[in-house]
Amino acid sequence: MRSNYTRASPPGKNTTHAVATAAACECPRRLLCPVCVPSVSPDPLPSRARVRMEPLRVPEPLRVLELYSGIGGMHFALKSCGVPAQVVAAVDINTTANHIYQHNFPCTALWSKSIEGIPLEDFNKLSIDVILMSPPCQPFTRLGLKRDVVDQRTKSFLYVLDLLPKLSPPPRYILLENVKGFEESCARNQLVKTLSENGYDFKEMLVSPTSVGVPNSRLRYFLLAQRSHFRADTQTQICQTFPGSVQNVHEQSAVCDHTPQDSVLYKLETPEQIQRKQEQNRDQSVRHIRDFLDSNPDLDLDQYLLPPKTLLRYANILDIVRPGCRRSTCFTKGYGRYVEGTGSVLQSSSEAEMEAVFRGLEQLSEDQKLKRLQTLGLRYFTPREVANLMGFPHTFEFPEDVPVKQRYRVLGNSLNVLVVSKLLQILLSEHTRL
């Protein structure tokens, strides 16, 4: 913020003395420092003269529309990014997610209706500065058959693109999040075409929480758009690294690396998979899993232990991490219900060695196998721990009447709050300099 200081002219004279910007010096006594406020006139001022300071301009809070609001991940990111802003409306049709959203943001207007059922006039009444949105991802995933724009779940997003040129006033900033794969979709092509035709500059990138030190892999597509004068030119190539971040430096750390190169291969893992996990665990720029675990001493963790049938059937495909690890896989909405590809499980026992447990496991009887596997103390991450890994603050809460499986489900549909907060700082930084 530029702060100008002007000396008052003596009576009867019309002399104005320019004064240097205080931001030119980092002196803690800026107003008294000759570098900060140099005297530019050799004439002494009368004793009755006073130094006048123009009032600081505080930017008006941005008016934010949160589409596909879910459990409020975008809202939490907005609160933590340090930019004055107010969510004037949030829109979602998921009743469980809306229940959780209202529990955490009781004063925010929450529209529990389909987006395409909201007329343009209702949006225009909001005078929107910012749109935050995370459209349904299923149309762009392999499991969702990649039906793209012909998928009915994309209908609301296409409606948003149709509304965008008609909004008055037009939003100044847009942030969109979706799964990896969206960048290759027809929906993405329509999005960037609409933005380009309506005076927006934009950046696209694929970002994972590991880029901001969180030990969880959740690679997602992000688009940041600003209506004219973006600090960098619009990029047609999708960035593969976090904007402005340094490359991760891999340093040796033996905390979670117990697999020598000549070790036997336990479980159904290839040497490449083991090497990748070792590299992830040596990345000193990423925090340990233990930093995100629930510290509530009254919590009954036995309820999260994997049941015997799950251990016997899926032991060889589990992604197992320990508190000292610096990695975990993406948690999906099927976590706690399905096993394969839904997220990591935690080895809670510090005494058992995973390699010793899995060596020769297939030659044992079921009873012997189960007894050995249970020594690992394998459990699911609690919903609170998953929320921690997804960047939700400690103030985030689930209403008591939401079942555990529903908590996993809505978390799996959400986003990483810390990543979005950092991206909002980049996108909205110009607003704070007005």
Model's pTM, two decimal places? Answer: 0.80
* Cα–Cα distance for residue pair 203/225, rounded to 1 Å: 7
Report the b/e string of 188-222 with b at 16+ CB within 10 A: bebbbebbeeeebbbbbbbbbbbbbebbbebebbb
Question: If one looks up domain 271-284+300-381 in CATH, what number appears?
Answer: 3.90.120.10
Strands 345-347 and 320-321: parallel
pLDDT at 239: 84
Are the beta carbons of 95 and 70 closer than 8 angstroms? Answer: no
* Cα–Cα distance for residue pair 356/375, rounded to 1 Å: 11
CA 131 to chain centre: 16
Domains of the chain, by residue range, sit at: 1-57, 62-248+414-432, 271-284+300-381
pLDDT at 228: 79
Both tokens assigned to 146: 């990649």
Residue with tokens 């706690």: 336
The helices-and-strands tally (H runs, E runs) of the chain is: 12, 12
* Cα–Cα distance for residue pair 8/68, rounded to 1 Å: 54
* Cα–Cα distance for residue pair 127/170, rounded to 1 Å: 8
Which CATH number does the domain 62-248+414-432 belong to among 3.40.190.10, 3.40.50.150, 3.40.50.300, 2.30.30.60?
A: 3.40.50.150
pLDDT at 145: 61
Are the beta carbons of 1 and 22 closer than 8 angstroms? Answer: no
Helix axes 95-104, 73-80, angle to 10 degrees: 30
In order, the DSSP letters of 85-138 are: EEEEEEE---HHHHHHHHHH-TTS-EE-S-GGGS-HHHHHTT--SEEEE----G
pLDDT at 48: 52
Alpha-helical (H) ranges within 284-338 are 308-314
Strands 220-227 and 345-347: unpaired
* Cα–Cα distance for residue pair 226/131, rounded to 1 Å: 11
* Cα–Cα distance for residue pair 180/96, rounded to 1 Å: 25
* Cα separations in angstroms, 6 against 21, 39, 206: 11, 11, 48
Main-chain phi, psi angles of 187, to 5 degrees? -60, -40
Both tokens assigned to 91: 């829109």
Instruction: Name the active-site residue from 137, 256, 325, 330.
Output: 137
Per-residue pLDDT of the chain (434 residues; tens, 9 = 90+): 444 434 444 444 444 444 344 444 444 444 444 444 444 444 554 555 555 666 666 679 999 999 999 999 999 999 999 999 999 999 999 999 999 999 999 999 999 999 999 999 999 999 999 999 999 888 887 666 677 778 888 899 999 999 999 999 999 999 999 999 999 989 999 999 999 999 999 999 999 999 999 999 999 999 999 997 544 455 667 887 777 543 333 333 333 544 333 333 445 567 777 777 878 888 889 999 999 999 898 999 999 999 999 999 999 999 999 999 999 999 999 999 999 999 999 999 998 999 899 999 999 999 999 999 999 999 999 999 999 999 999 999 999 999 999 999 999 999 999 999 999 999 998 766 54
pLDDT at 18: 41
Question: Active-site residue 137, yes or no?
Answer: yes
201 has which bridge partners?
Answer: 226
By C-alpha distance, which of 407, 254, 272 is closest to 322?
254
pLDDT at 267: 55
